[in-house]
Structure 1
Amino acid sequence: MNQLGLFRTFIAVVERGSFTAAARHVGKTKSIVSKQVAQLELLLNLRLFNRTTRALHITEQGASVYQHALAIIEQVDSLFQLNTSVSDPLTGRLRISAPHTFSETTLMAKLPSFMKLHPQLKIELVLNDHYVDLVAAGFDLAFRIGQLDDSNMIARKIGLCQQMLVASPAFIACHAPIEAITQLAELPCVVDTNRREGAKWLFVRDGQTEHVRVSAKLEVNSAAAAAMAAAAGIGIALLPEFAAASFLESGALVVVLPHYTLPSMGVYAIYPHRDYLTQKVSALLDHLS
């Protein structure tokens, strides 16, 4: 029995989401793929998937097996590459999850140059403003901004993102001078609900941390949409720099309360915990850093 082959088939099913898609990917029939997964379950004495007539869901034990299987397969594959040059081209597929606005304004500014360096590498970039399960969804890598949850994932900090408090010149002209953060609670604000802190905005002045809970005139789950709303005069917005930059350059937005400091947010690359980091992921992270 080719146990490594069973694990490769299992990985394909997890990453493709169905026996049919996995069969198409590995060049086998659906029945063979299903049989090999069943063989692996028997070998491990574990249920790897919960099957229904309409869907296939990986079990908690299956997700753990997937992580370990990836590590094993990658280490085995690396043994066959020991005699190859480090300059050999990257091949295969790299599946990435990343936030919408960050991807559109920042990541896509860097990704094309990486792809030109590695023309044989295929990249699937999936934009998600919600946190995804990397293992269950078959992602090699995810980008997240701000505070991270504790998990069994590996997080690598690749940069910092400055936050900015902004409003349109027309909004500023229609209101009394804004001189203290306490005034924000009484003013219409645009809240990006993707921020983990939501309507609780944190500031630093003279080394002291202060926060204010604002009243949301508009709630939207997109930094880009929040920037557009603020530029349209709907309210004050707390935005990441990459969402506000173009509006600030054009004069559609101006900085509010510049004498206060807003904490920077970390930009992190998240990938499954494994002893061996794939060359594809490592190369991309080095390029972005």
Structure 2
Amino acid sequence: MPLHCPSTRLFGVTAIALLLGITSCRQEPKEKSEPGTAQEIEPAQIQVTTRSMEFFGPDTIPSGWNTFVYKNLSTEPHFILLDKYPEGATIENTLAEVAPAFEAGMQFIMEGKNEEAMGAFGALPEWFSQVVFSGGTGLISPGKTAVTTVKLDPGYYIMECYVRMPDGRFHTSMGMARELIVSEQDSGLRPPEFNIQIDIRGQSGISWNGAPSAGKTVFRVEYVDQMVHGNFVGHDVNLVRMEEGADLEALEAWINWATPTGLMSSTMPEGFTFLGGTNDAPAGSVLYFEAELTPGTYVLISEVPNTSEKGMLKTFTVGS
């Protein structure tokens, strides 16, 4: 899970944030491109597909602005989180130095032994504190596509999803952790034009300018600041369509991974469809995402505890 200080990961107890993502990952075979997809990728897009528990997509992308088009063809909710690693650290280091601490800590958490879990996480390597969460897509429901534009610096990244399986395991441990190289060559792209401006702050929550309407809508999201919340993660923005009668309190409880059933695919409350958004990013970052809105009720929610109290759970209605 993500943490920031404000743009780098904190080390020690607070490092548990990323642990719930990358740390339990196994290295997967590098054949992660589906036959024929390369010709389908538009020059301005990075196409990524999940069919089960993997990321199909390119191994190397340019730096600068990139638009990720993430197709979730699986039966589970997913997201893309982009983690920039410090120089010299790779997924092999994660497997050898981080995964054992993560596995031990998670076992203690499942047993309700939080103090012992903190001790296990204290064995993390020092370089781990330098990992930077650099954005990505918000949660996306099965059968849906998330479109998010993010500006990336050159470097070595891990692309991951840490939604939980019905048995409590994280998707990263099932194969959803993949290397991604961002090259020195700049994409030369510009950010998209937008309809709605969203600001998110740790103390006052989510606010926006503009009136969402039916049709294609592009949201510009500015991370005015970033902070570590009670579940050791920074804030993000997820767009959710809410059906009549759906339990908003159940959504708020589910979005917090630091509970026995939080962020678990089998416990996701009924009546909600995740449509993407922007993932955890450093203070000062600007990201964009788009969605095709139809008449109905929508939610903007962040993956932190007590979202309504923090102003990080907001609803709006799109008319016909």
* TM-score under structure 2 length normalisation: 0.20
More strand by share: 2
Bigger CA radius of gyration:
1
- Which of the two has greater helix per residue? 1
